[in-house]
Structure 1
Amino acid sequence: MKLGLRTVKTAIAAPIALMLANVLHLESATAAAIITVLSVTNTKRSTARTAFNRIISLTLATVIAAAAFLILGFNAAAFGVYLIVFIPVSVYFKIGEGISVSSVLITHYLSSQSLAPSLILNEYLLMILGVGCALIANLYMPNTEKKIQEDQQVTEVMLKRLLADISDSLNQKVKEQSLFEECRTLAQFIKAAQKRALQFEENRLWSPNSYYFEYFAMRRLQIKTLSDILEVLSHLQATESEVIELRELFSFTAETLAEENDGQAILRKIDETYQRYREKQLPENRQAFENRAMLFHLFQLFQDFIEIKAGFYREVQRV
């Protein structure tokens, strides 16, 4: 059985929180360890959010509990009233993750039959120790940027190959299923890569970097468009002469596609090819007309495919 980094961090941070609570002679010291266990998340930013939300949650819980206990007494009915008020208010302010932890700390007031300042301070120190040890534990995160850059390279290679395969397989119905499968495989890879990119971004507290996440989001949109293109191609019944320029367009894109490409050369080629198709003789029958309409639709989809990348390039240049 392989131990994950988060497990190791939790196993180290929780005992430290417990020892510190004991050194400070805090009541219910074990609560600090439990809070640490519940506060170590997968990324630095999410742990920081959790820590902040739990401090706010405890403050809200203490105010509501104080009102309930002072009016109704330190009893089960008062605790029930506290929960009836605290839970929906926490959900409304989007700090629901602190409900269970704060409520456990509130039971210390109930069991002690007291809201003494020293006891309130005790609960805050338990919370601060718990979330503080979790934050410190998550200061170390392995740098995954190299892996993400490798994901980008793999994505570029797979996308070029898919475009080349589409070019080679135009009008070959026997290869349609393999193209759809290739497209799905690439879509799944990009989805996983985007998830890793999001974790990378979440681990940069002081210098946010959403470039990689946005890059994979752009490629996912392109893959969705390619899937639509494949769907249209599966219904196209054109002659070789009708698709030869489309084949060249796919091939040219496969050769020139790159992360730093602004897409303008491909867009010009799409427009030139589109204009040549418009100048061709009008269709003579229904089937030819339907094929011509599908070809024009393909050009529009392919333009959308390139515009997605061009838009991404413009946004990157603007930043």
Structure 2
Amino acid sequence: MFPIGYRTIKTALGAALAVFLAQQLNLDFYASAGIITILCISVTKKDSLKASWERVVACLAGMLYAGVLFELFGYEPWVLALLILLFIPSMVKIDAKKGIVTSAVIMLHIYTFGMITPAVVLNELLLIAIGISVALVMNLYMPSVEHNLLEDQVRIEETFASVWKEYARFIREQETDWDGKELAEAPVFIEDGKTKALQSIENHVFRYDDYFYRYFHMREKQLEVLERTLPFVSTLDRSVWQGERIAAYMDRLGKGVHPGNTSKEMLQELADVKEELQQSELPQTREEFEVRSALYYILHEMEQYLNIKRRFKPDDERTETANQEKQTRRQRRKEKLAARQQR
């Protein structure tokens, strides 16, 4: 069984309703009301309003163009071609491109009538009004994607936490069976979240809410830091006590990945780690110097990672919601794992 999305359902209901209303008013070309509705169904509320306005402007302009040209030169195919040649560039010029197809339907109606009269104009105006109005009503319902955004948020945070955990494990053991899939998956998760966040912004007509978009953008910048850090972590081929200290800090960094802003405390702890490293004995060999240099670079990148988060201003209410969502997801995973072990 093939899936049917909410937009398909809205389009079907809207087209049927528009045709029904046009039939009840005994309008000529009543089926065109359904066509106009189909063309006006959009993905977001803002896009729906903008597209509807463009279609109103284009349709009114199309009626004016058609009335003038057909009455001057006659209702002939070559006049229709001239009409389209003049009309399309005009709509592109005034940024009403989305209304070109809709207005073409109206202009063809006038061509079919073979005359322009008040009754013809009223008929076309009613078709436009019914088609666009029904589409706007249908577009009032847009399913909320906030729950999906919270899930994406939790998924990205779990991915980041896993990366820090694997970095720490490698620093301790100098070998790991980690395949790095989290670093490959994270960009996909972030891009998906940004797409949904933009859709959410477009569905808020009377308020601007870009929290999730800013959040995913922040994580995207942090991911760049994680990717830059990987080569230096992988070059550590010997264990030193400073590495153990940094690994322990990475563990804490991974556990602290959440929407809240705890970067101030983590930056203070990072400063303590850097001070400890500076006060330790100087490297005695080239190998020790290379290890120490790599550790300093890793500390620098972790500081950049935290500064990116520090500049992000989260919404307290959403932060609390996301934390609750994370705890719920983790609890469910624990329950599933326990059930599998019992089997």
What's 2:104 paired with? 103
- The aligned runs of 1:186-201 (5 Å cut-off) are 186-201=186-201
8 Å CA contact 1:176, 1:234 repeated in 2:
no
1:47 lines up with 2:62 in the alignment? no
**Cα 1:278/1:123, change in 2 over 3 Å:** farther
Q: In structure 2, what residue type is equivalent to 1:153? A: V
* Residue 240 of structure 1: aligned partner: 240
Write the distance in 2 (CA, Å) between the matches of 1:17 and 1:54. 16
Partner Cα distance (2:118, 2:225) in 1: 62
Task: Provide the C-alpha distance between the structure 1 equivalents of 2:252 and 2:178, rounded to a whole number of angstroms.
Answer: 23
Q: Classify 1:316/1:119 alpha carbon distance in 2 versus 1 (closer, same or farther; 3 Å).
A: farther
Summarize deviations over 1:85-116 as a string: whole Å, max 9, x none. 33233334433222222112111222223333
Cα distance per residue 1:43-86 (max 9 Å; x no partner)? 33322222122112223333444454455443333332332333
Shift of 1:285: 6.2
- Structure 2 distance, partners of 1:248, 1:299, is 13
| Corresponding letter in the other structure for 1:298 | I
**Alignment-mate amino acid for residue 133 of structure 1:** V
Report the equivalent of 2:250: 250
Q: Which amino acid aligns with 1:4?
A: G
* Kept after mapping to 2: 8 A contact 1:36/1:131: yes
Whole-angstrom distance in 2 between the partners of 1:280 and 1:88: 72
Secondary structure of the 2:179 match is: helix
Query: How do 1:74-93 and structure 2 match up within 5 A?
Result: 74-93=75-94
Moved more, 143-152 or 48-57: 143-152
The match for 2:32 is 31
Is 1:59 aligned to 2:60, yes or no?
A: yes
1:94-173, aligned counterparts within 5 Å?
94-170=95-171
Q: CA 1:291–1:55 in 2, change beyond 3 Å: closer, same or farther?
A: farther
Structure 1 residue 19: Cα displacement: 1.0
Specify the alignment match of 1:217 in structure 2.
Answer: 217
Q: How far apart, in 2, do the equivalents of 1:170 and 1:67 lie?
A: 79
> What is the CA RMSD across the aligned residues, in angstroms?
3.0
| Deviation (angstroms), 1:287 | 5.6
CA distance in structure 2 between the partners assigned to 1:308 and 1:81 by the alignment: 57
Q: 1:236 to 1:112 in 2, by over 3 A?
A: farther
More moved, 197-206 vs 15-24: 197-206
Which residue of structure 2 aligns with residue 185 of structure 1?
A: 185
Q: Distance in 1 between matches of 2:34 and 2:107?
A: 17
SS of 2:95 mapped into structure 1: coil
Displacement of 1:293 in angstroms is 4.4
Q: Aligned partners of 2:67, 2:174: CA distance in 1, in Å?
A: 73
Deviations 1:196-253 (CA, angstroms, capped at 9, x unpaired)? 3333333333344222232222223222321222244334555433523332331221
Partner of 2:320: none
State the alpha-carbon separation in 1 of the partners of residues 125 and 232 from structure 2: 62
Amino acid at match of 2:201: E
Contact 1:10 1:37 in 2 (8 A): yes
* Equivalent residues of 2:174, 2:237 under 8 A apart: no
Return the alpha-carbon distance in structure 2 between the equivalents of residues 88 and 284 of structure 1: 75
The offset of 1:174, in angstroms, is: 4.9
For residues 3-57 of structure 1, give each alpha carbon's deviation from its aligned partner in whole angstroms, at most 9, with x where no partner exists.
2111112111111100111122222111110111222223333222221221122
Question: What is the one-letter code of the residue matched to 2:26?
Answer: H
Question: Aligned residue for 1:260?
Answer: 260
**Measured at CA, do residues 188 and 287 of structure 1 come closer, stay the same or move farther in structure 2, by a change above 3 Å?**
same
Q: Give 2:11's aligned residue.
A: 10
- Which runs of no fewer than 5 residues in structure 1 stay unpaired? none
Q: 1:283 to 1:8 in 2, by over 3 A?
A: same
Query: CA 1:299 to 1:60, structure 2 compared with 1: closer, same or farther past 3 Å?
Result: farther
TM-score by length of 2: 0.79
* Corresponding pairs, count: 316
* SS of match in other structure, 1:140: coil
Output the CA distance in 1 between the equivalents of 2:12 and 2:59.
24
Displacement after TM superposition at 1:176 (Å): 7.4
Distance 1:269 1:70, change over 3 A: farther
Change (3 A) 1:243 1:11: same
8 Å CA contact retained: 2:172, 2:244: no
Rounded to whole Å, the distance in 1 between the matches of 2:235 and 2:178 is: 13
The whole-number CA distance in structure 2 between the counterparts of 1:272 and 1:92 is 61
Change (3 A) 1:250 1:67: farther
Alpha-carbon spacing, 1:249–1:265, altered in 2? closer, same or farther (3 Å): same
TM-score normalised by L of structure 1: 0.84
Q: Indicate the percent of aligned positions where both proteins have the same amino acid.
A: 26
